[in-house]
Chain A
Amino acid sequence: MATTHVNPTRMELTRLKKKLTTAMRGHKLLKDKRDELMRQFLDLVRENKALREKVEAAILASGQNFVLARAGMTDEEVNLAMLSPKQEILIDEKERNVMSVNVPVFEFQTKSNDSGDIFPYGFAFTSADLDDAVRSLNDILPDMLRLAEVEKSCLLMSAEIEKTRRRVNALEHVVIPETEENIKYITMKLDENERSTQIRLMKVKDMMLAKAHHYETI
């Protein structure tokens, strides 16, 4: 039984048939979009997991070195060593379109490319732990930027996948069955009307024949 009231007219029937075709097409397209997004999302999220584990381990390790460095130096010395950073990172942000989701792509440039030229201090008054810590952070930096890119992409894609899934489900379980039911209702109603008109015509014909020739049909 149709939940909403529909006018059993031919115009309404044509409209509903058009709506059903659109809904079916939309459903197929959205389903394809969801599947492709999901495929790409799963690849990305696997990379995200691996990167995150690597980056977290590296940051913790360098954190330990920084603690050691601070233990061996006074606060003033550490502050002085870190006062004017030599290195600078500039990020160029571009957008990539993944199944209509815009995700960022980061390309980064460093001011100096020489990995030996990263220390912003002279080695005379600083502890060796500080060097290790800075070096390990510098090594992990490309991965950190990639992590930011991947994690943001995952975040945006997961929200889009959820939205698309809801749309697919709404079309599949609500819009399409409802429209089909309404079409069926209208078709049946129209057929019924047609039959009753036919019968009425036959009856009238019989009555006219009976009147004109005075014979009875069965």
Chain B
Amino acid sequence: MYKACVFGDYDSIYGFSAVGLDIYPVTPETAEEEFQKVCRAEYAVIYMTEYYMALLKEETEACEQKLLPAVVPIPGIFGNTGDGIRRVKRMVEQAVGSDIIFGSEY
């Protein structure tokens, strides 16, 4: 059995602990070290705030081609940067060759 966790700054993620997800509050300095720890643990899904997703780009990309864990960007408390939806847009571009789903919305 796997679990799911949330990774990001404390203010953005502390609420998720109430609904049963493990939380990993980090600061930009400790992010990389903590992420390695999270990767080693048995998590099927890692929700990560967009800010840290951008910060740990290389590390998260290493997880991309593996079946587990699934790293999913979520908006932090400072608002939605649109990175999450742009990531999906990039997938469409990679697969189809050009974006046929999103158009110029994003």
Q: Could you tell me the distance between the alpha carbons of A137 and B15 in the complex, rounded to whole angstroms?
A: 8
Query: Is B21's CB under 8 angstroms from A93's CB?
Result: no
Q: Is the C-beta of A55 less than 8 angstroms from some C-beta in chain B?
A: yes
Q: Which residues of A contact B62 (CB under 8 A)?
A: none
Q: Which residues of A contact B56 (CB under 8 A)?
A: none
Distance (whole angstroms) from the CB of A139 to the closest CB of chain B? 9
Query: Is B14's CB under 8 angstroms from A87's CB?
Result: no
Q: Which residues of B contact A45 (CB under 8 A)?
A: 88, 91-92, 95, 101
Q: Could you tell me the distance between the alpha carbons of A102 and B66 in the complex, rounded to whole angstroms?
A: 10
Query: Interface residues of A, CB < 8 Å — how many?
Result: 61
Q: Is the C-beta of A90 less than 8 angstroms from some C-beta in chain B?
A: yes
Chief secondary structure at chain A's binding surface: helix
Q: Which residues of B contact A95 (CB under 8 A)?
A: 67
Q: Which residues of B contact A66 (CB under 8 A)?
A: 11, 14-15, 77
Q: Is the C-beta of A63 less than 8 angstroms from some C-beta in chain B?
A: yes
Q: Is the C-beta of B70 less than 8 angstroms from some C-beta in chain A?
A: yes
Q: Which residues of A contact B36 (CB under 8 A)?
A: none
Q: Which residue from A87, A92, A165 sits with its C-beta under 8 Å from B20?
A: A87
Q: Which residues of B contact A88 (CB under 8 A)?
A: 20
Q: Which residues of B contact A148 (CB under 8 A)?
A: 4, 44-45, 47, 70, 72
Query: Interface residues of B, CB < 8 Å — how many?
Result: 41
Q: Which residue from B3, B18, B44, B85 sits with its C-beta under 8 Å from A52?
A: B85
Query: Is B80's CB under 8 angstroms from A42's CB?
Result: no
Query: Is A159's CB under 8 angstroms from B85's CB?
Result: no
Q: Which residues of A contact B101 (CB under 8 A)?
A: 42, 45-46, 49
Query: Is B88's CB under 8 angstroms from A156's CB?
Result: no
* CB contact under 8 A between A89 and B20, given known A60-B79, A104-B70, A148-B45: yes
Q: Which residues of B contact A141 (CB under 8 A)?
A: 19-20
Q: Is the C-beta of A16 less than 8 angstroms from some C-beta in chain B?
A: no
The 12 listed contacts between A and B (C-beta, < 8 Å) are: A42-B101, A49-B88, A66-B77, A82-B15, A85-B17, A87-B19, A87-B20, A89-B20, A90-B1, A91-B2, A92-B1, A148-B44
Given A38-B96, A63-B15, A145-B4, 15 further pairs, Cβ under 8 A: A53-B85, A59-B74, A66-B15, A67-B77, A91-B44, A95-B67, A104-B44, A141-B19, A144-B74, A152-B67, A155-B64, A155-B91, A159-B94, A161-B96, A162-B95
Q: Footprint of A on B, CB under 8 Å?
A: 1-4, 11-12, 14-21, 44-45, 47, 64-65, 67-68, 70, 72, 74-77, 79-80, 84-85, 87-88, 91-92, 94-97, 101-102
